[in-house]
Structure 1
Amino acid sequence: MSRLGDLAFWRHLRGPRIDAAPADPVAPPGEGPLVLICGQSDAMPGLAAALRRLRPGLRLGALGPVAVDRGDRPVPQVLPAPPGDAALSRQLLAALDPAALVLTDGLLPAALVFACDEAAVPVTLIAGQIPNAAETERGLWHNTRARSPATRIARVLVPDRATRAEALRLGLAPARVDIIGRLTAMIPAPRVNRRDAEALRPLLHARPVWLAAALPLAEANAVLDAHAALLAARHRALLLIAPADPDEAEAIAVVAEARGLSVARRDRDEDPGPDVQVLVAGDTAELGLWYRLAPVTYLGGTLVGTGSPRHPFEPASLGSAIIHGPATATHAAEWLALDRARGARAVTSAAALRVAVEDLTAPDQAASLSVAAWTVATDRAAVIRRIAEAVLSDLPEGRG
């Protein structure tokens, strides 16, 4: 990394700068200890809810954008951004007397961190990544390590061993770097119409069923090739297709029929009877239903990189094993977490898709994959709790 790149990185960590004196900080109401949270991220709403749940009476304040937890309870804004110099940082701490400071998104506002160190206010940094040691040795960290704000932080929370190793290489004390797991995005599980699920389940009983979710027309032939190969081995197999574009449902059905497949159309109220080999839904509106009914899901758009692939935690949260192609730039962190946990099957071609579908329609294979995927998709709550417990452990007992 160039010197300019190093400087840009540390400017990013220092966060937004306030050159003029900001308005007076607004103290959150209440009498309990105050925890300040700085940095907007997916972690912030869930963390706020966990902190409040574990320590009733705790006050929270945001140095930056306001976050709302799942109960729609906002974190009040203390200041629109962290103070940009030492004097303003000291004034903030003197005015509010916070019990702790939490930095998310790897944000590192230097003046505020130094002020917290002087005032014995513990600081927790949630760091998704640490700059590579070889790069920072040539840059700002190496030249100013003794004065680095990172060395003044009470605790750095990292997702895995590799990130912890990078932190240690940069001089952080081992006792201050804890692994808490990867904080993935939280999404609600898609809605499942239970009445429809109960009506359709008997029709699918004992049949190998798989789903192509949000399938673009460009991938129809690859998916239908995989299904034809599956039918040769398991003649009662059923493919559910939820087109990415409702306007392509008709075209996908025509392509399937032209290949000699028996097709039913959901938008015509046609059921997947024993002779039906493909059921085409009108759109993705009922994806929760299909995820629930299909033990295996291929997430469309990931093979040829067209359209906007669905979030992989959708099928994972409803117990469907997942197959995906190489186009995973959308939701890259979630795909990486699933692949690392062996919670998804990656394929690179239509031929590999055929093999994966046949493998995973064997129940034991799908079950192993889906359990791993479900664990990854639901692990966020456990990670959030570990973060909250770490932050609260720094509060003196008398202040809780």
Structure 2
Amino acid sequence: MSKPRSLSLAAYRVLSWGVPNTANRPDQPRPEGELIWVHISVQNRQRAVTDFCRRLQLARPSLNVLLTAPPEADLRRWDQGDYPLVNLPLEQTGAARAFLDHWRPDIGLWVGGGLMPNVITRAEERGIPLILIEAQIDIKIARGARWLPDITRYTLDCFQSILTKTSETARTIRRLGVASDKVGESPPLHVSPNPRPWPEDELIETNHALAGRLVWLAACVLDKEFISVLSAHRQAMRMLPRLTLVLHVADMAEAGPLHQRLESMDLRCANWDADGQIEDTTQVILSAEHEDLGLWHRISPVTFMGSSMERGAGGHDPLVAAALGSSIIHGPFVHRHQQIYDQLDRAGAARVVRTATELGDAVVEMLSPDRAADMALAGWQIVSEGAPQTDRLIDMVQDCLDQRGTDDART
């Protein structure tokens, strides 16, 4: 049941009154069934939120997901993934009401700051359970209404549960007058990859073909990186003569020309996609299918994440490799996944290299069994550290939806 409306809120709605304009009218229909509305306050949290939503849907397959971004966000710069992504309307009373009328969410999850009183208080009055995570005391108040008291407290108090990243933020929210039992601490959502299983017979067969040899993987390698990777492999073979490189190319069209190039360089190459035959003398295994990375990450204790040595390349996601027990080497140009790489680097699960010589040295060093095991463990801890928080939040969402369903059945 919603709380009595405060005089400050009534005045706020009058001062922020507006009618939806054309830009605020949704152009996507609401899906049938239960719907969770998840608001992402900053773009760099989108990936973790999307990962959480996928895991939530594994637990509740019939649940639909709507993602929203701030009104001013340029959605062309955001990932267009599996879920509808729309801007929240401007902080106007009429626009907030129109948004809720159209989408009719069964539950709302707000991630971060930028709280918008109109849509939050309207949702609470409609009996929509709301959860705030990674909470910040950051309210977007409409112009002309900043002098009103209690809007911050009233907006925060609309959430059934508030999870903050720090104890200081939790104390500040309680001091505003929000009930203590609503407020708790929890680390931010983490991306936790869930690699698909690999056929056991193929894994055993491939390991048998490579028995007695050390293996490293260069994944998603651009054509401009071929020379660096192959030079590093030649350098590493001087120390490890039976070393095998799995060279996975980023562009499948490059696989054929590269095979010819390898032969001209007197490197004995097996084309995995053509026949899958690995000989005892094979020095390079050429692969182009993205799906096969699941096999190679499991076999290779060390992975160089390509598309990272050339300026502007941006890098590829390293978390699946870490989840499958491979330690990570990468170049300096990983801005598309900078936060994740920084985290792995700090934990000792990854190493940055800038030249072919540094790459060759890193391969030799990291193929040492003790070194590889330490780095793989550090990577696994990064991958798995957010699992308890994710499970807790999934339980909270499911409990709210179940309770809401029970209440609807009684009415």
| TM norm structure 1 | 0.67
Q: CA deviation at 1:101?
A: 4.5
CA–CA separation in structure 1 for the residues paired with 2:144 and 2:185: 24
* Equivalent AA in structure 1 for residue 157 of structure 2: R
Q: 1:337 to 1:269 in 2, by over 3 A?
A: same
Q: Which of 297, 301, 305 is equivalent to 2:307?
A: 301
Q: 1:196 to 1:90 in 2, by over 3 A?
A: closer
Tell me if the contact between 1:83 and 1:111 (Cα under 8 Å) persists in the aligned partners.
no
Aligned: 1:110 with 2:114 = no
Q: CA deviation at 1:245?
A: 1.7
Q: CA deviation at 1:43?
A: 5.5
Aligned: 1:199 with 2:200 = no
Q: 1:360 to 1:109 in 2, by over 3 A?
A: same
CA–CA separation in structure 1 for the residues paired with 2:375 and 2:51: 26
Alignment of 1:243-392 (within 5 A): 243-269=249-275, 271-305=277-311, 309-379=315-385, 381-390=387-396
Q: Give the gaps of 5 or more residues in structure 1.
A: 1-13, 66-73
- Post-superposition Cα deviations, 1:84-121, rounded to whole Å, max 9, x if no partner, equal 6568979999xxx9997432465623124345778998
Q: 1:142 to 1:201 in 2, by over 3 A?
A: farther
Q: Give the gaps of 5 or more residues in structure 2.
A: 1-15, 41-48, 70-81
Q: CA deviation at 1:358?
A: 1.2
* Equivalent AA in structure 1 for residue 348 of structure 2: R
* Equivalent AA in structure 1 for residue 203 of structure 2: A
- Post-superposition Cα deviations, 1:46-96, rounded to whole Å, max 9, x if no partner, equal 47448859xxxx99996979xxxxxxxx99xxx996896568979999xxx
Name the residue aligned to 1:126.
133
Count of residues paired in the alignment: 357
Aligned: 1:234 with 2:235 = no
Q: 1:261 to 1:306 in 2, by over 3 A?
A: farther
- Post-superposition Cα deviations, 1:198-244, rounded to whole Å, max 9, x if no partner, equal 22211212311101111112111221222122211111111110111
CA–CA separation in structure 2 for the residues paired with 1:168 and 1:373: 30
Tell me if the contact between 2:307 and 2:313 (Cα under 8 Å) persists in the aligned partners.
yes
Tell me if the contact between 2:232 and 2:360 (Cα under 8 Å) persists in the aligned partners.
yes
Aligned: 1:179 with 2:179 = no
CA–CA separation in structure 2 for the residues paired with 1:214 and 1:27: 37
- Post-superposition Cα deviations, 1:344-392, rounded to whole Å, max 9, x if no partner, equal 2222333332222111111222222223323433455433212234567
Task: For residue 331 of structure 1, give the secondary structure of its aligned residue in structure 2.
Answer: helix
CA–CA separation in structure 2 for the residues paired with 1:387 and 1:172: 20
Name the residue aligned to 2:151.
147
Alignment of 1:157-172 (within 5 A): 157-158=163-164, 167=169, 171-172=172-173
Aligned: 1:42 with 2:43 = no
Task: For residue 240 of structure 1, give the secondary structure of its aligned residue in structure 2.
Answer: strand
Aligned: 1:224 with 2:230 = yes
Between the two structures, name the one with larger relative contact order (CA 8 Å, sep ≥ 6): 1
Tell me if the contact between 1:264 and 1:279 (Cα under 8 Å) persists in the aligned partners.
yes
Tell me if the contact between 2:249 and 2:288 (Cα under 8 Å) persists in the aligned partners.
yes
Tell me if the contact between 1:296 and 1:323 (Cα under 8 Å) persists in the aligned partners.
yes
CA–CA separation in structure 2 for the residues paired with 1:266 and 1:27: 43
Task: For residue 323 of structure 1, give the secondary structure of its aligned residue in structure 2.
Answer: strand
Name the residue aligned to 1:3.
none
Aligned-residue RMSD, C-alpha: 5.1
* Equivalent AA in structure 1 for residue 224 of structure 2: A
Q: 1:107 to 1:385 in 2, by over 3 A?
A: farther
| Percentage of pairs with the same residue | 23
Tell me if the contact between 2:19 and 2:93 (Cα under 8 Å) persists in the aligned partners.
no
Q: 1:292 to 1:17 in 2, by over 3 A?
A: farther
Tell me if the contact between 1:105 and 1:126 (Cα under 8 Å) persists in the aligned partners.
yes
Tell me if the contact between 1:295 and 1:366 (Cα under 8 Å) persists in the aligned partners.
yes
Q: CA deviation at 1:317?
A: 2.9
Q: CA deviation at 1:297?
A: 0.9
Q: 1:27 to 1:181 in 2, by over 3 A?
A: closer
Q: 1:177 to 1:355 in 2, by over 3 A?
A: farther
Q: 1:390 to 1:207 in 2, by over 3 A?
A: same
Tell me if the contact between 2:35 and 2:64 (Cα under 8 Å) persists in the aligned partners.
yes
Name the residue aligned to 1:68.
none
Tell me if the contact between 2:314 and 2:334 (Cα under 8 Å) persists in the aligned partners.
no
Task: For residue 191 of structure 2, give the secondary structure of its aligned residue in structure 1.
Answer: coil
* Equivalent AA in structure 2 for residue 247 of structure 1: A
Tell me if the contact between 1:100 and 1:121 (Cα under 8 Å) persists in the aligned partners.
yes
Tell me if the contact between 2:219 and 2:248 (Cα under 8 Å) persists in the aligned partners.
yes
* Equivalent AA in structure 2 for residue 172 of structure 1: I
CA–CA separation in structure 2 for the residues paired with 1:377 and 1:141: 44
CA–CA separation in structure 1 for the residues paired with 2:316 and 2:191: 15
